[in-house]
Amino acid sequence: MKFLGNIIWLLFGGLAVAVEYFVSGVLLCLTIIGIPFGLQAFKLGALAIWPFGRESRRMQESNGCLSLFMNVLWFFIGGVWICLTHLLFGLLCCVTIIAIPWGMQHFKLAGLALAPFGREIR
């Protein structure tokens, strides 16, 4: 069932969001300072391609203040725009009763798009 959910997910905005993550990751990796942010964008892009059956957890060995600082920078660099994209696709999916599970995945990814540092994806 997860496989079918992921295939349908690609049609309901998952592919568009993943492309957004990967393009922003490449652009961020062009500078040395942006490499940590680009790596987070790639991690979120991989989750955006295949979200069903995967989850995000807070890392036990989080870097504390460094993660907080990086999340604040991420928020202003592009986290807001990616979050708004997820919210838009989530609202569009939740208009119909059938697509509510995919809308909920977008809402889950919207929260993760605001603060990805200090999180791991399993």
Mean pLDDT (the chain, rounded): 86
Residue type, 119: R
Amino acid 62: pLDDT: 62
What is the rounded distance in angstroms from the CA atom of residue 2 to the CA atom of residue 6?
6
Residue with tokens 């200090």: 118
For 22-64, give the secondary structure using H, E and C.
HHHHHHHCCCCCCHHHHHHHHHHHHHHHCCCCCCEEECCCCCC
pLDDT in tens, 72-117: 988 987 788 888 988 998 898 899 888 888 888 889 889 888 888 8
3-state DSSP helix/strand/coil % of the chain, to nearest 5: 70, 5, 25
Percent of the chain residues topping a pLDDT of 70: 98
Q: Of the candidates 75, 53, 71, 51, which has an alpha carbon nearest to the alpha carbon of residue 63?
A: 71
Q: Is 96 helix (H, G, I), strand (E, B) or coil?
A: coil
Percent of the chain residues topping a pLDDT of 90: 12
Mean pLDDT in residue range 63-71: 81
Amino acid 93: pLDDT: 87
30: which 2 tokens?
Answer: 């062009």
